[in-house]
Chain A
Amino acid sequence: MRVAKGKKAKPAKKQKLAMTADFAGMAGSFISRDEIYHRLEWYFDHSHNPKGPHAIDPNTPIDAFFQGMDPSTARKVLWVNINKISSTYVPAWKSALFHGVQFPWTSKPNVAIGLRDIQSFGNLIDSAVLTYEHFGWHVS
């Protein structure tokens, strides 16, 4: 079957655009532990200056952040809330605060630290680092 040149080129262009869009959402990029640390600090305290020193001690127990809420409920709320962060849900710093990566609820050794199991702010940073790595980011 003969196909005109113009008609042949059009579908090829569409396919290329679609593939680019898909990979752009999946590929991830580079981020430092330092920046993840700052982003988590900003999440808990919007007055945090991401260009200044770190303010929250990584050894701080995670329960210390749950003001007025019982720890069990607060963990569930944290899990939902931190995963819903986006440019529309919260006027977040640099749009999507955690770049769309989804923090896990349960843990898996060497793969994931779930929010159900974290005990300190440092555990949360480690959880975030593993999460970024899982979603294809290079964490330095």
Chain B
Amino acid sequence: MRFAVSTALAIVIMTPSVGAAETLSATKYDKNKDGVLDENEALVWRLHVQDPMLAKYDVNLNGRLDPAELERLRADSATSFSDRSRSVANDVLFFKNRKIADIDKVASSRPPPAVPAEVKPPKGGCENQQRLFVRRDRLDTYQYREGTFITGFVPKSKAKGASASFTHDDLDRSNSATINGRVSYVISQNDPMSPCFTGLPDDPYAKHDFKAPSLFGTTVALWTDAQGTINSPRTKNEKSALKAGIDAQAAIAGGPFFDLQYLIASPYAQTDFRGEARIYGVTAAWEPFAPNARLGGTIGAPATKYLDWFWQLRAEADVKRVDVVGATALTRGDYAWTGAVARLHLTPFPDRSVYDPFGESLFPDLVGRFYADITVNYHREFNRGIEALLWGAEVGFNITPDGTASISVSYTDGLDKDTLIKQRQYLVALNYKL
């Protein structure tokens, strides 16, 4: 043990100084304070310039390490070694007893070490956090949640954007405008994921009862939603819906069945692009997450190496009163819809490299390329006895490995509750996601 410590010290001391402090001031080496360095003083100064380690521990400036100084160096070295060993302890456990060739292969492609990143308030203060959202529809914004707390709020790369188009036909002397978009403004957000949240206890280990559901964040947002077309002169097939409302959203964490649940209530007023329709309503939605049942997503390894899957469920209730029909397909009176949307996601040949980088993939070229999903919308209207069942299936192939570009074939069949128009259509689409 003593030999090891001595050897370590020798290595530390004999190591050539890299980036030595050539600007080391000579002031403190003028031990007799006569304003000049004599030969011995200059010798010690140059030794210290040459070896910063000696400069640090040779406190009596005699140019060598005395026993007391060596003891201090040994103690510091032991402490430093302990800290540094702890910082690489996980890597040591991961790489020990591996073949050199395998280690080199994995180590060459692994990401750099990451340090925990404590949540920082956004630049300019919490009053400047993102509040305005422009998206395609409510599914792109309804939870107003962050992609990551580092990069910002609702991830733009996942959301679809709003679109608007205007056509002027000089021969027909007609104009047409189509708008599909939703603008939301968050007026209150109390999300523990947000760096602006201050409602958590100071003690990180404060006991939390995860068996009982508890409120874990709220959001209130104003929104206006426009979907449809307006023509001039007016045509028979013109359909549009212009809604304005409030989303009141609560996240519930814990409970016996679900890990996380989102509850969203949205009172709204609806008209059309001409301002003729008068419709009022409230939508209530519930979306649960339970990864152990693969509901809402999964945390962990794929179900099998051949196929991974998860499913989503969103229960909804939509109550509305139609006073004036306007440019919609609805009829006058009350509608009370209840139902749900369920979607099954299938991913053949999922990526297992995260769970065993030393393992071999089944079909490396097909990992993450194919996907398929099945969606079922079922809603029942109680006042009029209408049942709206709309289902669809889609199969796709990711042209690029990261899924930025894909080609898909989909089939949709059934009755859309929002338009009461029956659909049966095939669609081949080239998809692009940024």
A residues sitting closer than 8 Å to B (CB atoms) are 33-34, 37, 43-48, 53-61, 63-81, 83-84, 89-90, 102, 104-108, 111-114, 116-120, 122-123, 125-127, 131, 134-135
Contacts and interface: CB of A to CB of B under 8 A. Distances in A.
Contacts of A58: 90-91, 93-94, 113
Contacts, number: 184
Contacts of B98: 53
Interface residues of B, number: 61
A81 B193 contact: no
Contact of B354 (A64, A68, A126, A135): A64
B205 interface: yes
**Which of A47, A48, A116 gathers most chain B CB within 10 Å?**
A116
A108 B200 CA distance: 13
A74 B114 contact: no
B115 A55 contact: no
Given A68-B298, A107-B204, A119-B117, A33 B354 contact: no
B127 interface: no
Given A44-B301, A67-B298, A80 B146 contact: no
B119 A117 contact: yes
Interface in B227-269: 251, 253-254, 259-260
B300 A45 contact: yes
B121 interface: no
Max chain B Cβ within 10 angstroms of own Cβ: one of A44, A47, A71, A131: A71
B147 A107 contact: no
A69 B298 contact: yes
Contact of B155 (A48, A61, A70, A131): A70
B356 interface: yes
Interface stretch (B207-215, B316-324, B403-411): B207-215
Contacts of A127: 116
A83 B175 CA distance: 59
Contacts of B356: 45, 55-56
B396 interface: no
B114 A122 contact: yes
Contacts of A134: 205
Interface of B: 89-91, 93-94, 97-98, 106, 110-119, 143, 145-149, 155, 158, 192-193, 200, 204-205, 207-208, 210-211, 216, 251, 253-254, 259-260, 289, 291-292, 296-302, 308, 310, 345, 350, 354-359
B113 A59 contact: yes
B93 A80 contact: no
A10 B338 CA distance: 62
Nearest to B194: A72
B396 to A, nearest CB: 15
Nearest to A108: B204
B119 A116 contact: yes
A130 B147 CA distance: 27
Given A57-B106, A65-B300, A102-B207, A44 B355 contact: yes
A77 B296 contact: yes
A48 B207 CA distance: 30
Contacts of A123: 114-116
Contacts of B90: 33, 37, 58, 122, 125-126
Nearest to B193: A72
